Amino acid sequence: MNVLLLSMPDSFEHMPTVGIRMPNGALTSLAGNVDPHHRIAVADLILVQRRVRETVERLLKELNPDMVGLSVMTFQRKTAKKIIDLVRSLRPGIRVTVGGYDPSMAVDAYTDNSAGVVDFIVRGEGEITFRELLRAHESTGDYEHIAGLSYRKGGQFYHNPDRTVNRLEGEEIGLPNRDARVLRGYTLLGRPVDVIETSRGCTFDCSFCSIIEMRGRNFYTYTFDRVLADIRDACAHGARAIFIVDDNITLNVRRFEALCRAIIEAGLNKIDYTVQAMTSAIANHGDTLAPLMRQAGSRYVFLGIENIL
């Protein structure tokens, strides 16, 4: 199958595209975990904010996809609907799949025509669900056994049971496929940037956070060998800055310290790293953790303010 995966062009208010244009790591992870005979293209529309329509039109013509997938956050829902309507107008028979935080947590918004006509909703982690969706679509057209999937059949939506979050053990989830990207120009403050992840989840219950609503309170980690391989691959694709997108990398401070040492020992500390962290972890371990982070190449920390006290 030919598959086109799109991330939305809308950017966060605190991340203006003049300084920050980062890729959607989920889409390259999806691309890296489908069966190899599929032709997957990933387009981050944040790179073409002034040329969204013409870019989508061009990609549909050049790639001739059988399916279009959209990664959507809540503030991007209106834009997603417009893009779905555009895709439908150009290719009426194409299959449309949505995933990400908004479709996962607000399924009802996608089961009628208010957010565009979609065929499939991938809820929660998508790598295995999307792989199984493509397999079923190619063969039997039977989707009822795929955990984490909602699908339209006969004008009605059916919702399969949730998929258990992956423990990130072994090789079930492979490395991202960065070669699938068809647009270029990711930057962070002027430096070519990419994203990696070393863990998923958090065990805290901050009221403002959608992570635990999406996946529950848990914390699972990749091996350091896999993390270092991911960093090397990002560098091989031109990255000179890396945003580590872990939900809470300082949840296990000892592990994070060990990761910093592994990065230093591997000689991968010439890159600028940015992480997301809890203020409490930095405050309680700053004397030892901060110098180690700096030695490993960390330059910026997005702090989650758990409590104003």
Residue ranges of the chain that CATH labels 3.30.750.210: 186-304
AA letter at 173:
I
Domain 2-159 listed as CATH 3.30.360.10: no
The phi and psi torsions of 95 (rounded to 5 degrees) equal -90, 135
Angstrom distance (rounded) from CA 162 to CA 301: 33
- Look at the block and give the residue holding tokens 């009221």: 207
pLDDT grade for 217, boundaries at 50, 70 and 90: very high
Nearest Cα to Cα of residue 197 among 32, 11, 10:
32
Render pLDDT for 143-178 as a digit per residue (tens, 0 to 9): 999 999 999 998 899 999 999 999 999 889 999 999
- Look at the block and give the residue holding tokens 């049971």: 161
Mean of the pLDDT values across residues 58-85?
A: 97
Rg (CA), the chain: 19
- The pLDDT of residue 208 is 81
Angstrom distance (rounded) from CA 65 to CA 72: 19
Task: Domain 186-304: state its class.
Answer: alpha beta
Residue ranges of the chain that CATH labels 3.40.50.2300: 2-159
> Does residue 275 carry a pLDDT above 90?
yes
Angstrom distance (rounded) from CA 143 to CA 307: 44
Angstrom distance (rounded) from CA 116 to CA 96: 9
Q: pTM, whole model, 2 decimals?
A: 0.95
Mean of the pLDDT values across residues 252-258?
A: 96
**Cβ atoms of 298 and 267 closer than 8 Å:** no
pLDDT grade for 286, boundaries at 50, 70 and 90: confident
Answer positive or negative: Cα dihedral of 9, 90, 118, 63.
negative
- The pLDDT of residue 138 is 95
**Would you tell me how many other CB atoms lie within 10 Å of the CB of residue 69?**
27
| DSSP alpha helix (H) spans, the chain | 25-31, 52-63, 77-90, 101-105, 127-138, 211-215, 224-236, 253-265, 279-296
- The pLDDT of residue 303 is 86
pLDDT grade for 265, boundaries at 50, 70 and 90: very high
